[in-house]
Every structure is written in C-alpha cells, then in structure tokens.
Amino acid sequence: MKKNKLKTISIHTILSIIAILIILMGIIWDYIPSTGIRITIFLLGIVIFLLVSLWHWQQKQQQFHFANDICETVDALMNGHNPENYHPYEDSQISKVQERLLQYYECIYEKQKQSEQDKQIIQELVSDISHQVKTPIANIQMFTNILQQHQLSNEKRMKFLNIMTTQINKLDFLLQSLIKMSRLETGTFILHMETSSLYNTIAQAVNEIWAKAKKKNIEIDVSCDSQVTVKHDVKWTIEALGNILDNAVKYTPENGNIWVKVRPWQFYTRIDISDTGIGIASKHYNDVFKRFYRAQEVAAKEGVGLGLYLTRGIITKQKGYISVKSELGKGTTFSVFLLN
C-alpha cells in the first residue's frame, strides 16, 4: 500500500513538472519572437527537467538503500547477531542510526539479562528459605504432637517446651535474617549516610554481644579515638559490625580475647576485629561471605550462615569493603574499610 502511494506521489510530481514546463514554454513562445532563443530555452528546460528527474531518482535510491540497511540491521539484532553492514567509523547517517539501534539493543539486552538474574535470585531465595525453615518447623510439629498425645512428667514437659522455645527463637531469627537479606538483595532498604562518631557505633555493636562474651569469660578490648568520625549509616553499620563480633564470640573458646582496633587512613578508616577463635582455612576466605555457608567443623554451632553475607552487603552498599585474614587454631581478623 505504501509503495503504491509513493509511486502515485512520484507520478503526480512528474506530471506537475511537465505541466509547469508546458505553461512556461507557451509563455515563452508568445513573448519571445526569436526562434533561436526559443529553442535554447526549450533545450535548457529539458536539461533542467532531466537533472531534476535524475536528482529525484537518486534520492529515491538513497532512501531505498537506507531503509534496506536499517531493516537488515534490525533483523540481525532480532536474531542476536551483529549487523554485517555496520561500519562504526563512517561519518554517515546510516552509521549514526545503526549506532543508536545498537545502543538501544544493548540497553534492552542488559535489562533482559538483569531480569533473568533477578528471577534466578528469587528462585534461589525461595529454595533457600524453604530448606532453612523446614527443620525448625518439623521439630516444633514433632514436639507438639508428643506433648498432645503422651502423658509426660512435668520435668519432660518442661524439657520439650524449652526445646520448642529454642526452635521458635531459631525460626524467628532465621526469618528476621531472611527479611534483611531480601531487603539487601532487592535494594529496598534505604541508607541514611551521615558523618557520625565511629566510637559510638562500635560501642553499640559491642553492647549487643557483651552478655554473650561475659558468659564465656571473653575479654573485649576496643581501641578507638572518640573523635574519629566517618560517613556511614549508623543502624546498618551496627548490624554489620555486630555480626562480625557475634561470630567472634561464637567461635572463640572460653577465656579468649577479642580486639577492636580503629586506624584512620587518608581515604578510608580501617576497623580490625580480631579474636583468638578456631580460625578459618585460607581456601574458605571467600566462602564465609556466601549466604547460608556453614563450615563442617561449625555445623553444630548455632547460626544459619547469613551474618557475614549481610555484613559484606551492608559495607559494600556504603562504598566500603571487607577482608579477612586467619590462621587455624589461632584466630581471625576481619578488616572493615569505611570511606572517610
């Protein structure tokens, strides 16, 4: 339909030019008496007509090749191939349009790739949640059935109730950790970055694990100038440092030590959290930051393997980073770097 319309427009244009030339020739014939001049003007008009027709034909050919190149480019991109007729270093209209099309394609491809990654993350998250909550729920159901169907002594009843309370607390802790993890991965939590006292932030993080440390007779030594300030989100940084400190208490034997040392650098402030715990094998340095990772030797310990995963995510979101150095049987040092 469009081709027929274009042909109609071209015929109308040619007929209009011919009509104008006939009218002009009639006027010239009436007002110019010299036959030589008439013939000259007539021939000149024919030449002009031919030149206009040639120019018009060239324009049509250029439009045809332009449209054809664009169609080939779009077809190649739709099939996932690079267009063969693309010459990025040419300063031409077709190259400019093709470049824009490629940029648009890359943008769409990246969004599609991100969407697929998000779907994969959601699938893994649902699978992880299902696996992690299965055990405490099964235990609660089992002990509930025992309490309902058997006549037990008060001592055994209290024992089972305490076990159920432990499982409920574990389930609550797990769900709270999963909520934090989902917020971190989906980017739904908001950081409130402000220049605040790092000493106060560390003090609040230490207070959260002080009772556990005291129960195991673990000494905590903090070396931090009260005047040190860094730009950070206080709430989430307390969460991040608290997770490291909680692990330090958990995996340090009784009568051990934990040290927190702060050293301001030019661009970063370094926070070293060291312990005299069981240590981490060097081959597992990266593994400890993976979600739900639990080493075999600590499988019996309380925890779900989300603390360090959350810690790294929180620190990274604040444009900082975290590293670990350890020696089996002697202790571990986690170093947190926050922008000044």
Chain segment 265-294, per-residue pLDDT in tens? 989 999 999 999 999 988 889 888 887 776
Whether the pLDDT of residue 40 is over 80: the answer is no
CA angle, residues 280, 283, 288, in degrees to nearest 5: 55
Residue 107 has pLDDT above 90, yes or no: no
H or E segment at 327?
A: strand 321-327
pLDDT in tens, 44-73: 777 877 787 788 788 777 777 777 777 777
- 272: phi then psi, degrees, rounded to nearest 5: -100, 125
Beta carbons within 8 Å of 149's beta carbon, 6+ residues apart: none
Maximum Cα–Cα distance for the chain, whole Å?
135
Sign for the pseudo-dihedral over CA of 232, 234, 236, 238: positive
Mean pLDDT to the nearest integer, 7-36:
66
Cβ atoms 244, 238 nearer than 8 A: no
For 215-227, what is the mean pLDDT? 94
Query: Cβ(62)–Cβ(30) under 8 Å?
Result: no
Output the average pLDDT for the chain: 81
Nearest to 108 by CA among 69, 71, 80: 80
Distance CA 234, CA 291 (A): 23
User: How distant is the alpha carbon of residue 194 from its chain centre?
Assistant: 24
The reply to whether the predicted model has a pTM over 0.85 is no
